[in-house]
Structure 1
């Protein structure tokens, strides 16, 4: 007997045949012919992410997924009506297969592996030890992600200093260094760099071109932190007479198998960047290469293996749960869909609706201005998510990875540095910032308010960014 399922493929083929011309035209969307109003849903979702957690935190906590879906539909439905379902469908397929799904799979793998490692024991939070932990975190952040490194180290760092009177500065510098600046050297470190990797930027490019910038920023921050922590540490009554968490456990790692799995993650991403294969699958106009497909399958296997082999006690000690990843997945689904027309308009250059933005970061001779790109990318990354901000300016600079890695290397370096480094300017500049703040407050640390934190970042980070501009981008 012929079932409905066996008839379905033959019924779909004529439909795909009718849509094929529209799917082919989707990649050629002319941004110069679009109205700036098509960018409203993208701006709306970014402003929602920035403002709702501050103005209506409970409402946002319960309904952020619905808000993200509403903005996505606010773009997709009119877009499908105006340009046809084929063009809209091709845009969705490209956003999902070329960017969103690989992005979420990598974040999930890093989040799971990091959540499977627990550092036990209670260290003594001296200036030297604290500085060493921040330095180690800066290195780890580029290989297990700023989120992974932050979740791995923030709890033992707070435990090490819970017998001290002044701890706020320790957490603030942790956000500066581990949750942001340290993730600048590889595509594994921070989401915007992985998006660049997916767009064709070589895996080692950021390490080669951003290493001096990172060394200057992280080195200066570690030196400032050590001096500040030394001053606090030697003040009278800084050390409490009773340690809230005495050293009753031997220092060590639980869930050590996840270090091996972390190496597998690094290897899979390297494989997808170094292996060039002619095997390409064309799915509704989107090309999916064999190396990227095997990378994503491998990362899913690593995630499952980590969940199976990590003892439940490790997840319990780390307070591991899926809430952060669920939030990221829902919000970025809306972001990657609503950014479709924005990218098309930016690619249109000075002839497009966003010509003013392009001119603002362009020299009179038509060449891009690295210093302007650094600050424009950084300012937006301070208050909006740095991943879509990176995409915006990546495409403003032309969107051709080969040109950006060579002729326009200073511009790509400025975009990369601005997106990663200036995410530390506010709590909402990068996802780990709020996660670290929440964990610290749960442990009794009285963290600064939103604007109080910006006083810290303004006083410490902005002068360093000005110095970096003078040294690297002028």
Structure 2
């Protein structure tokens, strides 16, 4: 999710936002899709396995039809959503294919300390190649290291740490932070302000994981791999990976004067997306067969993500517009605490990138600033005094929104792009993974919420 929806606050004033709001009932397809994603694999597995593409596309068509024929700004919104979806699928599919051609063998047994160090490494790596890149690169070796002792919590904590919270320090790490960078937040602002909450959270989660891992016991003797080093097959794909990461920045908002195919030729994708799709094709055609075979590579995980997120991107349009309008109207009443918990709660069930933008726009409005002006965003990040006496400077609000949008993306499988991908890769290889509801009630609520509450108390209790 390289780009995201701009909020209604940024697009116009309160009155304009209200006049262009969709009806509340149009949120029903989104809620229904979430419910079916949560319950389908559990209660009607056979139907869901064969018909989820029809369900996702059908519900998307309901919302798209209403916007296209019943709302004045509908076609513009649909066009923008299509651009977002193509950016999303270009990034995640290219990383999926490229990483599938890299076979990393770590000849170490899966033990608490080794696993904990790998998760810490993945958290750092996520800031260099993104949470999606780090997840795709490390999930298979992580599972192989723990063959014979892999439990559901192994996959869940990998999603928590590598697929989400790890990428909280740089704009490369996670889509919300990249959108903030495009809007004017300085590149190194996040790491300078968020490193302590990030480090505390990663240490807490890795420590909890290692305790659970110690209880899981050792690998069965017959399945213990020989102790050794690290070997890599398909190393040339790291060049492809580098091309993808560089292409992320090929955006007119980053490079002044860079051509925009959307504006020049009215295409729904840009140079960046063409490069990513091209890299995916080239990487697959030139992949080392041993690497593909060792990774048990197939396209089923990316197929499921592509169809489900067609539905998610389309059906969440009205929810995001309603939330954006509410945030813009009530921003003056929101405290840091409110921004933190609202941004977080919605980032867990909606796409965390546009959620970040909506609340960023609301927070800027609270300080009399405009998200469409990059200098305003830079001033907001550096710290502007609040017009409300006794309130905290603007930088605290930006910290709260940044942390919440990235960290709370781990709350559900749909909170961040790689979550579903990791789940599907694990399931494709026969690993037992929690269903949607089990993930939430058994892991994210009892593990993440106490940690996030501690962060709020220490850093955002205003």
Task: Single out whichever of 196-205 and 69-78 deviates more from structure 2.
Answer: 196-205
Residue 364 (structure 2) pairs with residue 380 (structure 1): no
SS in 2 for 1:469: helix
2:250–2:258 contact (8 Å) kept in structure 1: no
1:76, CA displacement in angstroms?
2.9
- Report how many residues are paired: 425
1:308, CA displacement in angstroms?
2.6
- Evaluate the alpha carbon distance shift between residue 409 and residue 139 of structure 1 in structure 2; reply closer, same or farther with a 3 A threshold: same
2:196 paired residue number: 212
1:119, CA displacement in angstroms?
0.9
SS in 1 for 2:104: strand
1:110, CA displacement in angstroms?
1.8
- 2:240 counterpart (261, 267, 289): 261
Structure 1 CA distance for aligned equivalents of residues 37 and 403 of structure 2: 22
2:446 paired residue number: 459
Structure 2 CA distance for aligned equivalents of residues 141 and 278 of structure 1: 27
1:130 paired residue number: 115
2:123–2:162 contact (8 Å) kept in structure 1: yes
Residue 153 (structure 2) pairs with residue 174 (structure 1): no
Unaligned runs of 5+ in 2: 1-10, 381-393
1:369 paired residue number: 335
- Evaluate the alpha carbon distance shift between residue 218 and residue 405 of structure 1 in structure 2; reply closer, same or farther with a 3 A threshold: farther
Residue 44 (structure 2) pairs with residue 56 (structure 1): yes
1:264, CA displacement in angstroms?
1.8
Structure 1 CA distance for aligned equivalents of residues 248 and 189 of structure 2: 14
1:11 paired residue number: none
1:109–1:299 contact (8 Å) kept in structure 2: yes
SS in 2 for 1:243: helix
Task: Single out whichever of 405-414 and 136-145 deviates more from structure 2.
Answer: 405-414
| Partner deviation per Cα, 1:397-439 (whole Å, 9 max, x = no partner) | 5682644554244334333322322233345544544554555
- 2:70 counterpart (76, 82, 91): 82
Q: How does 1:280-291 map to 2 (within 5 A)?
A: 283=263
TM-score (normalised: structure 2): 0.77
| Partner deviation per Cα, 1:155-193 (whole Å, 9 max, x = no partner) | 3223323365x8554444323211221122344433444
Residue 290 (structure 2) pairs with residue 303 (structure 1): no
2:388 paired residue number: none
SS in 2 for 1:270: coil
1:248, CA displacement in angstroms?
9.4
TM-score (normalised: structure 1): 0.75
Structure 2 CA distance for aligned equivalents of residues 198 and 45 of structure 1: 31
1:266, CA displacement in angstroms?
2.0
1:181–1:214 contact (8 Å) kept in structure 2: yes
SS in 1 for 2:222: coil
Structure 1 CA distance for aligned equivalents of residues 266 and 69 of structure 2: 22
- Evaluate the alpha carbon distance shift between residue 48 and residue 163 of structure 1 in structure 2; reply closer, same or farther with a 3 A threshold: closer
| Partner deviation per Cα, 1:16-38 (whole Å, 9 max, x = no partner) | xxxxxxxxxxx879431233334
Residue 413 (structure 2) pairs with residue 417 (structure 1): no
1:468, CA displacement in angstroms?
0.8
1:346–1:395 contact (8 Å) kept in structure 2: no
1:205–1:405 contact (8 Å) kept in structure 2: no
2:301–2:428 contact (8 Å) kept in structure 1: no
Structure 2 CA distance for aligned equivalents of residues 110 and 393 of structure 1: 29
Structure 2 CA distance for aligned equivalents of residues 336 and 199 of structure 1: 21
2:301–2:424 contact (8 Å) kept in structure 1: no
Structure 1 CA distance for aligned equivalents of residues 160 and 312 of structure 2: 25
1:66, CA displacement in angstroms?
1.9
2:92–2:417 contact (8 Å) kept in structure 1: no
1:386–1:429 contact (8 Å) kept in structure 2: yes
| Partner deviation per Cα, 1:179-209 (whole Å, 9 max, x = no partner) | 2211223444334445555666565554444
Residue 133 (structure 2) pairs with residue 141 (structure 1): no
1:247 paired residue number: 226
SS in 2 for 1:252: strand
1:51, CA displacement in angstroms?
4.1
2:29–2:59 contact (8 Å) kept in structure 1: yes
- 1:470 counterpart (430, 443, 457): 457
- Evaluate the alpha carbon distance shift between residue 468 and residue 452 of structure 1 in structure 2; reply closer, same or farther with a 3 A threshold: same
| Partner deviation per Cα, 1:376-398 (whole Å, 9 max, x = no partner) | 23223334554554455455556
- Evaluate the alpha carbon distance shift between residue 170 and residue 334 of structure 1 in structure 2; reply closer, same or farther with a 3 A threshold: closer
- 1:183 counterpart (151, 157, 167): 167
Task: Single out whichever of 265-274 and 386-395 deviates more from structure 2.
Answer: 386-395
1:135, CA displacement in angstroms?
0.9
Q: How does 1:104-119 map to 2 (within 5 A)?
A: 104-119=89-104
